[in-house]
A and B are shown apart, each in its own frame.
Chain A
Amino acid sequence: MDLVFDNVVQRFGTRTVLDGVSFSVASGERIALVGPSGAGKTTIFRLMYGAFAPTSGRVVVDGTEPGIVRGHALRALRSKIAVVFQSHGLVDQLSAGANVIAGTLGRRSTWDSVRAVLRPHADELADARAALAHVGLGDRLHDRVFDFSGGQRQRVAVARAIAQRASLVLADEPAASLDPQLGADIVGLLLRDATERNATLICTLHQRELTSGFDRVIEARDGGVVEHAPRFDI
């Protein structure tokens, strides 16, 4: 899935977070998005899945503008986007398996959503178990996420993104709450998954040593973006 940012300006009240950001990502590219906190990385993500429309400029994802379309078109686009949130975005009270299945709600009606989370079919559970096995949590399918550590929650969120088989994977600091080795493993897993399925992957990172496997590095800075070759020195 390809996407284009064309001179995007984003203001919240009087605060300007993005001031004329332009870049494009081709289908199947793997991009590391770096930059200091508050540089607008998360805002860029939110624009991609259409949380709001940009103040000015255009965001085009897969030929549609996520901030402009609504209804079925917006749902259809979002169901092809997997997001790993920095705060994980997990439902604490549900099991790890149910949280993984919750990644597939974009393809389901409201009724089927509730059914799939509360009473999943055997094949849906098997898919969830396989995704959790990728992140080393295959034996925790039925455990409530509430009791998980920060690192385990992070891995469940990554498993959810993998299980969604999305054409665009957005991961917000997927290695932030993990120890260095596990962080590298998880980023490697996301890279491998994207490469196998020819999906586009965009990862925000603050550890520069993790950017080496990516095709390009985009740095958000002072309201704009700068492009680098992988593994540059910040």
Chain B
Amino acid sequence: MSADAVAYVRDAVLQTLGITSSALVIALLLGTPIALLIAQGKRLGRIVQAGTTIVRAIPDLVLAIVFVVALGLGPGAAIFALGLHYAAVIGKMFADVAGSVRREPAEALRASGATSAAALLIGLIPAAWPGLVGFGVYAFESILRASVIVGVVGAGGVGALLVQQLNLADYRGFTVSVIVLALMVTAIEWCGTYLRLHASPRIVLTALLVVAVGGVVALAVTPDPPWRMLATAPEHLRDYFAGAAPAWTSDMGQLAGAGIVQTIGIAVIGTIVGGILALPLALLSAWPVARGWMRGTGWRPFSWPLEVGSRALLTATRSIPPLALALVGIITIGVGPVAGAFALTLHTAGVLGKLLAESFDVADRHPAEALVASGATGAAATLIALVAAAMGAMVAHILYRFEWNVRAATTLGMVGAGGLGQAIFNSQQMLFYHQLSSYVLMAIGLVLIIDWLGERVRARFRLERLEI
């Protein structure tokens, strides 16, 4: 690689990290008071809660495209879009954490005359701390993935570089960028795991300070810092609001209908085929778990390469963002929904494989051990006792993955992988802002309906609620 190419990748990585950090800071600053309002459970809190549900339903890339249109190209749009989206996510998650810890300690402090702030800090936060850190880290990881995605619509960072390299047919550079990206995601996941396990307030707050300052420094050394857009933003905003009222034209019906069918189809195929690929890998990773710490009847040196190998394969698959996979699909298969389905299938296999393996890891292993003790084969004990014990969590994970895939299928369209996203992207490119607004509303509606259906299924089968 030439020195220029290295500089491009370096700037893109710095910009992505800067976007991620700044968006996290905004999300925490906005999301924490939102969580407090929701947790209080008063009327204002319920209104805010309804608002966060709608904001969370907007796929992050759709939000980014709206901000790119409204504020102009560059990382500033990404920071605001992701900051807003994840403020809603953090508001919901932190409120859930606050709702799950015991209220009595805080109430006892209030009863003896402590201020409500003191009661919160001393009575509630310590109990909620591990949950807050866990979800905070999860938000950071999610924002990192999303910040790559939003680059595609002109919001800077590695995502923008990927599209640029693809347009220039620089496949070597593209491969290097994808590898750098996968390493970045894996490194952040490792840091996240460390923080979750060693969640002392001092370490976490230091990490947060490093992230906040580091983010600003990273953006400052890149060629296009986000504060530049402040000069041009008012003009963009005027243009946008002049032409952004949702409108319906006769040619939109067919496009929108086909887009919705394609989006759901991509999500369904990605979930089913990805799930079929994920299950054997998850079972291979969980095989030794069935034996617990018992000597099994299998030959240990034979089973551990399978376990380590399948876990490594799952990690590698899920560390490549679906958007990069979609771009690979477009190069190899061509523009259209098949590329989208290809991307979601691979990504779902990686993520679902890990989640299913984790369901096996945390499932009660005593029944499996009991079967092995009476001479059952390790495979039989895994299939009968572990899978049965993990069944509820497995179905819940698959359902959530389907909902996630519907959002992802919407966004993948923006790089040419079919579905509603493609219609959104085309109308942005052609500056048809009124059409853009209509399609965005349709995407939000679609996601809200799918989420609502998922809730109904969960309530019907009394499944666990696992994440946002």
Contacts and interface: CB of A to CB of B under 8 A. Distances in A.
Contact of B297 (A67, A74, A83, A88): A74
Interface stretch (B141-149, B214-222, B330-338, B378-386): B378-386
B295 A106 contact: no
Contacts of A85: 366, 369-370, 373
B299 A70 contact: yes
Contacts, number: 106
Contacts of A87: 366
Interface in B357-377: 364, 366-367, 369-377
Nearest to B380: A113
A105 B375 contact: yes
A75 B384 CA distance: 17
A81 B373 CA distance: 8
Classify chain B: how many residues form its interface, as a range: 20 to 34
Given A89-B366, A93-B389, A114 B299 contact: no
B297 A81 contact: no
Contacts of A80: 375
B389 A79 contact: no
A50 interface: yes
Of B364, B375, B379, chain A has the most CB atoms within 10 Å of the CB of B375
A40 B384 CA distance: 30
Given A79-B374, A105-B374, A89 B384 contact: no
A94 interface: yes
Given A87-B366, A91-B388, A105 B294 contact: no
A92 B389 contact: yes
A117 B384 contact: yes
Nearest to A79: B375
Contact of A92 (B294, B376, B377, B388): B388
Classify chain A: how many residues form its interface, as a range: 35 or more
Given A70-B299, A92-B388, A113-B383, A105 B369 contact: no
Given A51-B294, A70-B295, A70-B299, A107 B375 contact: yes
B108 interface: no
A72 B296 CA distance: 11
B391 interface: yes
A119 interface: no
Contacts of B376: 102, 105-106, 108, 113
B369 A108 contact: no
B370 A83 contact: yes
B375 A75 contact: yes
A83 B374 contact: yes
A97 interface: no
A102 B380 CA distance: 10
A52 interface: yes
Of A83, A88, A110, chain B has the most CB atoms within 10 Å of the CB of A110
A108 B380 contact: yes
A50 B291 CA distance: 12
Given A52-B295, A70-B299, A92-B388, A113 B367 contact: no
Interface string A36-52: 00000000001001111
Given A70-B297, A105-B380, A90 B373 contact: no
A167 B422 CA distance: 69
A64 B293 CA distance: 21
A222 to B, nearest CB: 25
Contacts of A149: none
A114 B367 contact: no
B388 A113 contact: no
A89 B367 contact: yes
Given A67-B295, A89-B367, A78 B373 contact: yes
Contacts of A18: none
B374 A71 contact: no
Nearest to A67: B295
A117 B385 CA distance: 10
Interface of A: 46, 49-53, 67, 70-72, 74-83, 85, 87-94, 102-103, 105-110, 113-114, 117, 164, 166
12 contacts: A52-B295, A72-B297, A85-B369, A89-B373, A91-B367, A91-B384, A91-B385, A91-B388, A92-B367, A93-B388, A102-B371, A114-B384
Given A89-B369, A91-B388, 12 more contacts: A51-B369, A70-B299, A75-B297, A77-B375, A81-B373, A85-B366, A85-B373, A94-B388, A102-B376, A106-B376, A109-B380, A110-B377
